[in-house]
Chains A and B, each alone.
Chain A
C-alpha cells in the first residue's frame, strides 16, 4: 500500500519462489524471437529510458526536489515495455502508483513526467497530482491511482466503454501481487468475464506487496489462475524477458479483440528498490536482490542477446546510452526550472464548468 503502512518489522520467509520460474506463453524469447531487429532495439531503448529516468528520480528525491511518496519501477521495465509493444496507441492503459515506467512506455514526455514529480506547472497534472496521479488522455493513459486495486475496476470500466463503443480497442489494467487480494479486483474479474470485456489484467508480481511476500499474503500459488473459477484464461509469463512479455501480450490482445476477453497475465518480475523511497527493504536479503540483478536483469539480458545476434555493436550501445542520458538530463533540467503552479491554480479543476 502506497500510503498507509510502515515497513514490516519481521524478516521475510526464507522460502521464496524464484522470480521467473514460470511457464511462458509459447515460444522462447531467448531463442526464436518473433520481434524484428527494429522492435528489439526500440524495446531496449524504452527499457533503458525507464531505468535511467527512475535512477534520476531517486536522486532528485534524495535531494528533496521530489516529495511525498515515490515508487520506482527499476527491475520491472520489461513488463510495461513488452506489453505496450504488443498493443496499439489507440488502446488504453491504467495502473497503480508505481506509474512512471508506464507513462514513459506509452510515449508521454519525460519532461512532463519529471516536472510533475517536482510539483511544477510543467507537469502533466500541472503540479497538482504528483508521482501517483498523472494522466494523459492524449496517450490514453488513465492514471496513476493511489489506492491499491482501485485502478482495476476503473480499468474494467474503460473496457466496458470500449465494448459499448465497439471501436476494437482494448484496455491494459496493471496491478501488483498485493492488489490481487483486493475485493474489487475480484468483483471486476466477475463483471469482465460476465460481459466478455476486452481487458488484459496484467499482474506485476514483483514478489512483495510492500514488505509482505506473496507467500505470506496470498493463499493462491499461481495468481494467473485467480480468474479460473470465472473462466478467465490466465498464464504466467517471464516478466524479466521483454520478448516473452510481448509475445504473451500479443496473444492476450488478440483474444480480447476477438471477443474472448478478459485475460489475466501474471508477470513474474522483481523490483530492485524498496516499495517506496522510504522503504529500506529489510524484508529480503541483499543477496536475493543481487542474484536477480545478476541473472535476470531485463536490460542486461536483452543487451547480450542483441550483441550475440549481431544486431548491435558496443559502440551503438554507448551511443544509445548517451542519447538516453541526455533525454533524462533535459527532463531533470526542465523539472527544476519549470515554475511552481500559480497560487490561483489552487481553485481550478475542482469541477468542470457545466
Chain B
C-alpha cells in the first residue's frame, strides 16, 4: 500500500510553504527517520522525515516549488515489491498518513479551522496615489519598525526572541542585522520587569517598542501597563508622557487552548490614557504602526498571528501613515452596517459576499482603532443602513460590541430600524478540540445570520 507524503505544517497557523530540496530521489530506499526533504517558510525551515520504510516511488512536487499548500501530497513511498504505477490511484485517494510535523495538533485537524488568508483588497488610503508593493502583514510590520528606526535613533525594539531568533513569529526578521544589539534587544522571559524597563526608558525620552510574544503574556505586566504607562502623565500634571508601543499577537491562534487564545481589545480600551489599535490589512498594519511609534502616548498595538502571512498592497512611501482613531469603510453597502476589527474584518467581508448573493448589501467598517473609537464613521453608516452588527473575537460581556451598541443608542437611536446585534466569541474559555474551537469563535455564517435578523423580506 503506497503511503502519501504530505506537505507538513511547521506551526499551527501555517497554510503553505516552499519545498526547498529533496534529499532522496525517486527509486531511493528509505528507512523511518531518513530525511526526505526540506521545507521552508518565511519563518523557519524544517526537515521532513520518513515514517515508513520503502522506496520513494514518486516525487510529485519538485525541488524549489513555492507556495505548496499544507497537506498537499508531495511524494509517495511504495512498499518493497510494489510498482510505482500504482501511484496515480494512490494519489487520487485522500486516505493518507499524515507526515510528522513539529506542530502541536495534527495537520488535518488544524486545517479545519484555518481561516482563508486575506487576499489583496483596495485598502490603501484614498489619498495615496504613489507606488505600492505586495507584501505580507508580517513584512509590513517589520518595514514600519525599520523605517521608524532609521528615522529616529530613540526608537528601539525589545522583547523575547526579537533579536537573535529573529522574532518568535519572525516579525522582527533582519532588524538585528541592520540595527545591532543596542537597538534590538532580547529580554529574559520576564514580562513584568521588562515592561517596567520599557516604561522607564520612555519616561527618560526614548521611544521603545516592546514586543510581547503574545498579548496573553502581557497579563503578567498588567500593573505596569495600566498603573504606570497609562496613568503617569495624568498623575504628573502632564510632565511625564510615556511614548511607547506595546505590540504583539492578540486573540485566538489555532488550537493553542484557553490560556493562549483571547482578545484583549476591550480590556485595554477600558483604560483612559491608552490608545488601542488593531489593524487587519498589511497597509494599515504598516501605516498604523508608524503612527503608533511617532505618537507621544502609550499605544497597545494588537496584531493577529493568523493574519501575519496574509498579503496586501502596501504603499512604499516611508512618509505614508494611517492616522490613529480613524475607521475605514472597506466595503460599501446600503442595507446593514457591519463593524469589525483585526481578523474579523476578513470574516465580515466573507459574510458580506454571502449576503450580497441573497440581495442584502452590507457596509463593512474596519474599526482599525478601538480607542479612541471613530464613532462618527459608524454613525454615518448607520444613518444610511439603519442597521448595525458588531463583530469581534472577544467575549460579549463588556466587550467592544457592548460599547459600540451603547454609543449608537446614544448618538443614532432614531436612525435604527432594528436592535444592534453583537457577534462575539462564545462566553467560555476557548476549548482545544477543533470542533469546539470553531463553535466558540465567530464565523462568517454567524455574521450572516445576525445581519439577516430584522431585515425586511
From B206, B273, B296, contact of A350 by CB (8 A): B273
How does the 8 Å CB contact mask read for B231-250 relative to A, with 1 for contact and 0 for none? 01111111111010000000
**Given A153-B192, A156-B193, A137–B240 Cβ distance below 8 Å?**
yes
How does the 8 Å CB contact mask read for A165-176 relative to B, with 1 for contact and 0 for none? 100000000000
B204 touches A145 (CB 8 A): no
Q: Does residue B48 face the partner (Cβ distance < 8 Å to A)?
A: no
Q: Does residue B198 face the partner (Cβ distance < 8 Å to A)?
A: yes
Q: Which residues of B contact A135 (CB under 8 A)?
A: 232, 235-236, 239-240
B236 touches A164 (CB 8 A): no
Q: Which of A154-207 contact B (CB under 8 A)?
A: 154-162, 164-165, 183-184, 187-188, 190-191, 194
Q: Which of B64-80 contact A (CB under 8 A)?
A: none
Least distance between A198 CB and chain B CB atoms (Å): 12
Least distance between B156 CB and chain A CB atoms (Å): 7
A154 touches B237 (CB 8 A): no
A157 touches B196 (CB 8 A): yes
Q: Which residues of B contact A190 (CB under 8 A)?
A: 188, 190, 193
From A128, A184, A187, A351, contact of B237 by CB (8 A): A128
B188 touches A191 (CB 8 A): yes
Q: Does residue A9 face the partner (Cβ distance < 8 Å to B)?
A: no
Name the CB-closest residue of B to A162. B204
Q: Which residues of B contact A350 (CB under 8 A)?
A: 233-234, 272-273
Q: Which residues of A contact B396 (CB under 8 A)?
A: none
Q: Does residue A270 face the partner (Cβ distance < 8 Å to B)?
A: no
Chain B interface: which size bin? 35 or more
Q: Which of A98-153 contact B (CB under 8 A)?
A: 123-129, 133-137, 142-147, 150, 152-153
Q: Does residue A63 face the partner (Cβ distance < 8 Å to B)?
A: no
How distant is the Cα of A352 from the Cα of B275 in the complex, in angstroms?
11
A128 touches B235 (CB 8 A): yes
A161 touches B237 (CB 8 A): no
A155 touches B200 (CB 8 A): yes
B223 touches A147 (CB 8 A): yes
Q: Does residue B194 face the partner (Cβ distance < 8 Å to A)?
A: yes
Q: Does residue B365 face the partner (Cβ distance < 8 Å to A)?
A: no
Q: Which residues of A contact B182 (CB under 8 A)?
A: 164
Q: Does residue B195 face the partner (Cβ distance < 8 Å to A)?
A: yes
Least distance between B221 CB and chain A CB atoms (Å): 9
Q: Which residues of B contact A124 (CB under 8 A)?
A: 236-237
Q: Which of B156-213 contact A (CB under 8 A)?
A: 156, 182, 187-188, 190, 192-206
Name the CB-closest residue of B to A188. B193
How distant is the Cα of A246 from the Cα of B234 in the complex, in angstroms?
34
From A153, A353, A354, contact of B195 by CB (8 A): A153
Most chain B CB within 10 A, of A135, A144, A164, is at A164
Name the CB-closest residue of A to B191. A187
Least distance between B314 CB and chain A CB atoms (Å): 23
Q: Does residue B224 face the partner (Cβ distance < 8 Å to A)?
A: yes
B198 touches A187 (CB 8 A): no
Q: Does residue A38 face the partner (Cβ distance < 8 Å to B)?
A: no
A146 touches B203 (CB 8 A): no
From A125, A184, A352, A354, contact of B196 by CB (8 A): A184
Q: Does residue B11 face the partner (Cβ distance < 8 Å to A)?
A: no
Chain A interface: which size bin? 35 or more
Q: Does residue A295 face the partner (Cβ distance < 8 Å to B)?
A: no
Q: Which of B267-296 contact A (CB under 8 A)?
A: 272-273, 275, 294-296
Name the CB-closest residue of B to A183. B192
Q: Which residues of B contact A92 (CB under 8 A)?
A: 204
B295 touches A157 (CB 8 A): no
A154 touches B203 (CB 8 A): yes
How distant is the Cα of A154 from the Cα of B194 in the complex, in angstroms?
9
B200 touches A158 (CB 8 A): yes
Q: Does residue A342 face the partner (Cβ distance < 8 Å to B)?
A: no
A194 touches B188 (CB 8 A): yes
Q: Which residues of B contact A354 (CB under 8 A)?
A: 294-297, 324
B234 touches A349 (CB 8 A): yes
How does the 8 Å CB contact mask read for A322-354 relative to B, with 1 for contact and 0 for none? 000000000000000000000000001111111
Q: Does residue B228 face the partner (Cβ distance < 8 Å to A)?
A: yes
Most chain A CB within 10 A, of B224, B228, B241, is at B228
A152 touches B233 (CB 8 A): no
B227 touches A150 (CB 8 A): yes
B237 touches A349 (CB 8 A): yes
A351 touches B273 (CB 8 A): yes
B196 touches A153 (CB 8 A): yes
B233 touches A352 (CB 8 A): yes
Other A-B pairs beyond A147-B223, A162-B204, A165-B206, 15, CB < 8 Å: A124-B237, A126-B237, A128-B237, A133-B236, A135-B235, A135-B239, A153-B224, A157-B197, A158-B200, A158-B203, A159-B200, A187-B188, A350-B233, A351-B233, A354-B324
A-B contact pairs, 12 of them (CB 8 A): A92-B204, A123-B237, A126-B237, A157-B196, A161-B201, A164-B156, A164-B201, A165-B205, A190-B190, A191-B194, A349-B237, A354-B294
* Chain B contact residues, CB within 8 Å of chain A: 156, 182, 187-188, 190, 192-206, 223-224, 227-228, 232-241, 243, 272-273, 275, 294-297, 324
